[in-house]
A and B are shown apart, each in its own frame.
Chain A
Amino acid sequence: MSTSAQHQVSCGGGEISETMQVMAKHKSCGTVGGSGKASCGSQAGIGNVPNEVWEKVKNHPCYSEEAHHHYARMHVAVAPACNIQCNYCNRKYDCANESRPGIVSEKLTPEQAAKKVLAVASAIPQMSVVGVAGPGDPLANPDKTFKTFELVNKLAPDIKLCLSTNGLALADHVDTIARLKVDHVTITINMIDPDIGAKIYPWIFYRHKRYTGIEAASILSNRQLQGLEMLTARGILCKVNSVLIPGINDQHLVEVNKAVKSRGAFLHNVMPLISSPEHGTVFGLSGQRGPTAQEVTALQDSCESEMNMMRHCRQCRADAVGLLGEDRGAEFTMEKIMAMDIKYDEQARKEYQAKVEKVRIAKLAAKQEQLAELASASSEIKVLVAVATKGSGLINQHFGHAKEFQIYELSTSGAKFVGHRPIHPYCQGGHGEDSKLEVAIGAINDCHAVFVSKIGGCPKAELIKAGIEPVDQYACEFIDGSAIAWFKLYLDKVNEGKIKHVERLDAAARHNGLISAA
């Protein structure tokens, strides 16, 4: 099933030699990384990040926005138990068509997980990272989690390991995490104020006792920050995830941002609350709403001067497989894996990844070329555009096949990735094609244009009616360069009085965490 991956790389690949020349002209000075902070070439890493850190993140799709277009990850669901209760989680509810944390189709033993890693690594050579993210908490299942890492280290030593934890048990396991070369750890920290924590966490289970209320939140917060300090002191990269819950911790997350930055966190990922009554969560049932896209962006923007903000998180399942935004988990059920003839070929993976690197360089060069064109323009105008993509940083997805749109903010300083919008509304059927189009338009209603490889006549007309320009003339070209070229034309038309620039509306940040029923 590697055909689609190959397609992604070959699409536009013919321009590589040409763009390499352009690249040489521009001396490889480019922008990389998830925060939109400028930096000079891949040598310097992202922002003010040192080279050794850049080496760790450059092929990690969750730690580098630029890498997430090219490299894939997989989660292995070996950790079902949890040691805390969160008001946004309900372990009883499960649905194969859902995409949100805490959801898996089948639990694995460490041995099954290792086999699955080899199967995926062979079929998807750009899969660079294996993580344990649940469906409970990896460190509430330390034996299963660490046994899995030991096996992967032994069988596929080129694969990076990471884990995602609530942090309660973290301080007890820092030595093991370091010994097993887990060099990326994500801690979910939603508060540093126990009064706020009591509204998010009904209880924790700690040292053989259940704690509730403010006492529980206080222990959790202390343990999270202690664990973060211990990891960063050892040079282990830490990302902090925070769930944005309007009316509970929205303003407070600025304080969380300062607290985690001062303790050495590398990246902060503010994610929208996923809340819907049918999930049966405390928040879902109480009518607690999730934030709008603008609310998430506003908070990310307000923290960005302080540290790198992650904007490309897909809040994926604890058994997700593939590029962020796609889930190929259904191709790798244990039943299918047992029938596979798996040959792990590290050399072939290296060769494939070398090709991926060429595409990355070409993409950067295309962007530089268009940025140079834009250099003469001067305007205060900023617009958002949506992009349908299958990966590799290319506009290579049909409008009607897109399961999500990537969102870029365009200004005279260039194209900046600011997020994504999942759009598949159906879980148990019962929704027609019309509602799918409505959901798609609702999800990108804050955008001036949508870039696609192809689009049908009917959706095209509906988009134009909604004030969103469907753009298909950049099919199979790089996103950044194309978006900047389009923006240049847009500014020209505004300056010549051919069109009038108007602000767009707000849009939905999440659609109940559902993915395709297909």
Chain B
Amino acid sequence: MPFKIIASQCTGCSACETQCPNFAISERAGVFLIDPEKCTECAAYFDEPQCVAVCPVDNTCVLDTALPRHQEPA
């Protein structure tokens, strides 16, 4: 399942946008959104999801439990 950003908590600081290895994050109406099609949970890139690690507000970049976990292609 990909990550999502809780819009009401997003400060719009853009820190996540440049850290995302999948270019999955973009701005809309002052807050940032993660494209679930592009998010790989940073698998194969980093030990920890970059958006979570850099976000200044705790519990704002979170796993989207409505969607299945990301699977790396075999």
Binding site for B on A (CB under 8 A): 80-83, 85, 91-92, 107, 135-136, 140-141, 143, 205, 208-210
Contact = CB atoms under 8 A, between A and B. Distances in A.
Contact of A208 (B15, B50, B56): B50
Nearest to B45: A208
Contacts of B17: 81
Given A80-B13, A140-B15, A92 B46 contact: no
A83 B15 CA distance: 8
Interface string B1-19: 0000000010111110111
Interface in B29-74: 46-48, 50, 53-54, 56-57
B57 A210 contact: no
A498 to B, nearest CB: 59
8 contacts: A81-B14, A81-B15, A81-B17, A82-B13, A92-B9, A92-B11, A140-B15, A210-B48
Contact of B53 (A80, A91, A135, A205): A205
A140 B54 CA distance: 11
A259 to B, nearest CB: 28
Interface of B: 9, 11-15, 17-19, 46-48, 50, 53-54, 56-57
B56 A80 contact: no
In the A-B complex, the 5 residue pairs with the smallest Cβ-Cβ separation, listed nearest first, are A81-B15, A210-B53, A91-B11, A80-B13, A205-B54
Contacts of A205: 15, 19, 53-54
Nearest to A207: B46
Contacts of A85: 56
Contacts of A210: 48, 53-54
B56 A82 contact: yes
Contacts of A136: 13, 15
Contact of B54 (A80, A83, A107, A141): A83
Given A81-B18, A91-B57, A92-B57, A208 B46 contact: yes
A362 to B, nearest CB: 46
Contacts of A141: 14, 18
Contacts of A92: 9, 11, 57
A290 B19 CA distance: 35
Contact of A81 (B9, B13, B46, B48): B13
A222 B15 CA distance: 23
A80 to B, nearest CB: 5
A83 to B, nearest CB: 7
B48 to A, nearest CB: 7
Nearest to A90: B56
A82 B50 CA distance: 13
Contacts of A82: 13, 15, 56
Contacts of B54: 81, 83, 205, 210
A330 B3 CA distance: 38
Contacts of A81: 13-15, 17-18, 54
B20 to A, nearest CB: 11
A208 B19 contact: yes
Nearest to A135: B13
A209 B48 CA distance: 7
Most buried by A among B15, B17, B19: B15
B53 A209 contact: yes
A81 B18 CA distance: 9
Given A80-B14, A81-B18, 10 more contacts: A81-B14, A81-B15, A82-B56, A91-B56, A92-B9, A92-B11, A92-B57, A143-B18, A205-B53, A209-B46
A208 B47 CA distance: 9
A277 to B, nearest CB: 18
Contacts of A135: 13
A107 B15 CA distance: 13
Nearest to B17: A81
A142 B54 CA distance: 16
A80 B12 contact: yes
Given A82-B56, A85-B56, A205-B53, A91 B13 contact: yes
Contacts of A83: 15, 54
Nearest to A143: B18
Residue from the set B46, B47, B48, B56 with the largest chain A CB neighbour count within 10 Å: B56
